[in-house]
Structures are given as structure tokens and as C-alpha cells.
Amino acid sequence: MYMETFSTQKFVVNPGGKIDGTLRVPGDKSISHRAIMLSALAKGTTQINGFLEAEDTNATLEAFKEMGVSIQGPSNGQVTIHGVGLHGLQAPSIPLHFGNSGTAIRLLSGIMAGQTFSVEMGGDESLSYRPMRRITEPLNAMGAHVLASENDTPPLIIMDKQRLQGIDYVMPIASAQVKSCLLLAGLYANGTTCVAEPAPTRDHTERMLHGFGYPIKRDGRRVCLQGGGKLHAISIDVPADISSAAFFIVGAIIAKKSDLLLNHVGINPTRAGIINILRQMGANITLHNQRNIGGEPIADIRVRSSALHGIKIPKEQVPLAIDEFPILFIAAACAKGETVLSGAEELRLKESDRIQVMADGLQAIGINAQPTDDGMVIQGGKIRGGVVNSCGDHRIAMAFTIAALCAKNTITIEDCSNVATSFPSFVKLAQEIGIDIKLVNQL
């Protein structure tokens, strides 16, 4: 698997081509993170198949090793975790480092808030700018003692706590990371912890808790659990990541004479915004062999070349596609007419300011893209090629790679090293299905 990382990398992508064949992208990152966490906190041995071997998920795995959990793998997507139970973690001897992963540090904060030892958690420069007040305030309201920087960013210091108190929390913004953080803290709390979300967000944590035998109740957009229960080891089959599949889905749509089958992809309805939005834009996407594995809906996705048209993206779809907007912006650039996104201010707080960085990149390759406070207005047009700075954001680097399929000239994407955080085999798979991409290492 392609895992080598250099100080700087760039992608040079020649224009044109088509996407053909059958492909299975790596395992779902969100599910892989949660599989490690809940397996470590369960009693017994859990076998995980389809685990995403990438920098973000490996950081989570190493954190639990540092806290005394015996883990074998990963090897070809297989990981064996010997759980220690909810109260079996040991104090780490060093600060926990999560690289670029906001998911890891936010979800682990919930677990760490319930421990009887203190811990420091941080990451790379990008992570040090990610907002943490959204979790520190409700965790401290539960009785935790979580300290952040003056700007409410990492590093975080979580002081030891004997027992938290349950909370009934209404989230001001829709965030699966906040919801999951508080539910994981609730495992350690006295009484009931409830979280209400203003709009549906990914529900992998709830599904997986249920799979591990932990009672959880949902009433509309409110989910509750009682503290003090137990998790029981299971087997987990991680589906292919729809966020990774999204790049090739859009590639097959915008490239002429393309026909692609993506196997074993997770189609959780809280993650299906990418499919819903593209279909509204006129995409030819069909689902085959739909089934349910380990509580997660899965399908094979067939995608064929399609003529897209611009739309006003429905606000209810925004939380369901929040990680896929970089590649959706590329679809909009190749569509006929105007595409308008609003209600997505969360994009400014990702690994980069994805609204501004994507607008700058689209303009650099000849597309009229106007950023707004909470979204973007894109006029579909002809991509001419050019040089784009991804600002170290993996999803932006991959999105502009796909844009070359409709470009007149070569697209060069700078600062691509962080693609390894979520999709280390991206270049190899892109080459295999017909994209003319070259990776250039700059030492």
C-alpha cells in the first residue's frame, strides 16, 4: 500500500481520460476510528476486517496501545484488539498525538474525560487550529476538567475525574463529532446522557454501540444512553468509505464514456448526501446488491457519464455531505448553470478553510467561484488547467486531481502530503482506473 510520506509532495495530472472498471476503495475512516475505540473499551477480543490503514486511524490505534491495550495489526485491513473494558485503560507515559485527525481528538476527549488519570492530547499544526470549545464546554458541564489553549484549540489537557454526571444537551450546530464525544463520555457518567441535534448527522457511534450490546435510545433527533453499562466484543466488517469513493463517483460522472462499479461501499443514510445531491444534479448513479452488514447498510455503486446541471443545494443535505463538498464543488464546476451552497459555515473549520481554498483553486483553473460566509456560488464552465495550492488539505488535493478529467491543460496540485491521512492508496487507484496522475516528491 502507498504509505510513504515526504516533506512536500505535489500531483501533476494531465487532462482528459475516462474512468472504467471495478474498484473497492479503502475502509471507512469514521467507522475505523470508532471500531478501535469501542473494541478497546469492550470486554473480550474483537476482530476488525476492512480497517483503513492511514495516518489518521493509525494515530488512534497507537493512542490505545500507549494506554495499555494489546493490538495486533493492522495487516491487510485486519486488526485484532484485546479489549480492557471501560475502566481498564492505563495512564499514557507521553502526550497522545493525533496528527491531522479532528475525529480522533474530539471523540477521545469524551473517553478521556471519564478516566481516573490525566492526559494531554495534541496533533500537527493544522489540528492546533481546530475549534474545541464545542466539546470542552459540554464536557466541563458534565463535571470534567478539560483545558485548551487561549483560543480554545489543541493541545487539550484532561484532568482525572472519578465520575461524570449525565447531561441533556442540545447541540447548537450539527456535529457527529460532538454528539459522539458526549455519548462516549456518557458511558462513564452517573445517570442518563442525552444529545439532541439540530439536523441529522452520521450515526456510526450509535449503530456501533448497539452492535457492542450497549443499550441506546433514539427519539427523533435525540439520542440517550445510561452510564455504567458494558461493551461486549464482536466482529466488525468495515465497509468501503463513501467519502473516498466520492472522488471516483464524480470522476466517472464528469469524464466522457465512463462506467465505474464501486464495490462494498457504506451507504449509511446519514452519509448519503453526496449521492442525493449528485442525483439532483442529473447524475446517473444506481445502487446494486444492497445489504446490511454489522448494522451498516452497504451497496455496490454503479456510476456512468452524465450531463450535470447546477442546483441550489438543499440545506437539509449539507450535514449529510459535509466532508464531500470539495469534490461536489468540482462537479458544480463541470455542470451547466449555477450551483449555490449555503448553510455550510462548518467548512471553514476543517483541515483548511475549505470554502476559501476551494474558491481560490477553482478560480486558478478558470472557474467563476464566489465564496460566501457559509458556502459558495459556482458558475459551471470550462476548466482550463493551472496550479492549485491544496493548503495541506487531503480532500482538496484529491478533488482537483479529479478536475483534470475535464480540463484543457495539466493541473498541478501543490502540498499533497496529507492525502496519506485518509487515502494513502489514492494515486495508485487513480492510475489503475484511467487517471493520468504523477506524484512528485520534493525533499
Q: Determine the length of the chain.
A: 443
Separation between Cα atoms, residue 189 and residue 229, nearest integer Å: 10
d(CA 200, CA 194): 15
- Among residues 56, 237, 300, 323, which one is catalytic? 323
374 is catalytic: no
Nearest to 274 by CA among 308, 250, 299, 309: 250
What are 234's three cell numbers? 464482536
What gap in Å lies between CA 354 and CA 352, rounded to an integer? Answer: 5
Would you give the distance in Å from CA 360 to the centre of its chain? 23
Contact between 126 and 101 under an 8 Å Cβ cutoff? The reply is no
Contact yes or no for 85/130 (Cβ under 8 A): no
Q: Are 37 and 184 a contacting pair, CB within 8 Å?
A: yes
* CA atoms of 359 and 376, how far apart (whole Å): 8
**For the chain, counts of helices (H) and of strands (E):** 12, 25
Q: Which of 143, 122, 139 lies closest to 177 in space, CA to CA?
A: 139
CA atoms within 13 A of residue 342's CA, in its CB half-sphere: 4
DSSP string, 363-422: HHTT-EEEEETTEEEEE---B--EEEE-TT-HHHHHHHHHHGGGBSS-EEEE--GGGGGT
> How far apart (Å, rounded) are the C-alpha atoms in residues 155 and 193?
26
CB 241 within 8 A of CB 54: no
Tell me if 14 sits within 8 A of 187, measured CB to CB.
Answer: no
Rounded (10°) angle between helices 204-211 and 29-41: 40
Cell numbers found for residue 224: 440517550
> CA–CA separation, 95 vs 106, rounded Å?
15
* CB contact at 8 A, 432 and 251: no
Residues involved in catalysis = 323
